[in-house]
Amino acid sequence: MKSQEKIVLLLGDIALPLIGFFFWNWGFYFIALYFIIDQLAKQAFLILRLKNISLQFTEKAVRLSKSWILFFFEVLIIILINYQMTVDFNPINGIIKFLTYEDMGIQQGLILIPLLIFAEWMKIKTERTSKLSEEVKQQNINHSLQQSQIRLSMLGIILGIVNFTILSELVIVILFLIGIGLPVFVPLKKAIKQA
């Protein structure tokens, strides 16, 4: 991945949550929900990405399972972080507030969810039209799994910090955004060639 593409990805992952924090009164949980919805869209479209590569069914199933398991633990750690931050934390109420939060008379759930789905759909279309090689497609999926593992580690570190110290929400948001932005710059591992 070129450095320009990495910067665009980083801006997409971090810029909107920062704008939300500073201008739309998003708290940590809102930012985390935005991240979760974004990752959920990526998980859904991973099925299409796997369909477009020539691997055995078992290999595709293993990669898909790994991806969903990592996503599940990311969500679980985010919920645990919120429980550490807020005594009366209720994840369901937070989701409802996030989806129905209005800015300029429009509920953000009506804009953000279709926008995130559309962004993933456009990435799939771009990948199809760019005629990526089989090896590059596999490398991209492997890199995505590698990034999820690093994000999970970073979230675990944040959970450990929040467990033992009291931090302001701004500091936690910054740590979280660093944690989800850092994996973009991890070097790409080569795909393992099938015999």
For residue range 14-47, list pLDDT tens digits in order. 777 887 788 777 888 888 888 898 889 888 888 8
Report how far residue 17's alpha carbon sits from residue 165's, in angstroms, rounded to the nearest whole number: 24
The residue-averaged pLDDT of 86-107 equals 80
> What does the pLDDT read at residue 73?
95
Q: Which residues contact 127 (CB under 8 A, 6 or more apart)?
A: 49, 52, 137, 140
Burial of 154 (0-12, 13-18, 19+ CB in 10 A): buried
Looking up tokens 């809102």 gives 30
The residues with which 107 forms a beta bridge, in sequence order, are: 102
The residue-averaged pLDDT of 59-75 equals 91
> What does the pLDDT read at residue 9?
65
> What does the pLDDT read at residue 8?
64
For residue range 123-155, list pLDDT tens digits in order. 877 777 777 777 777 787 888 888 889 889 999
Percent helix, percent strand, percent coil in the chain, to nearest 5: 80, 0, 20
pLDDT(195) > 70: no
Give the chain's radius of gyration (CA, Å). Answer: 17
* pTM (two decimals): 0.80
pLDDT(76) > 90: yes
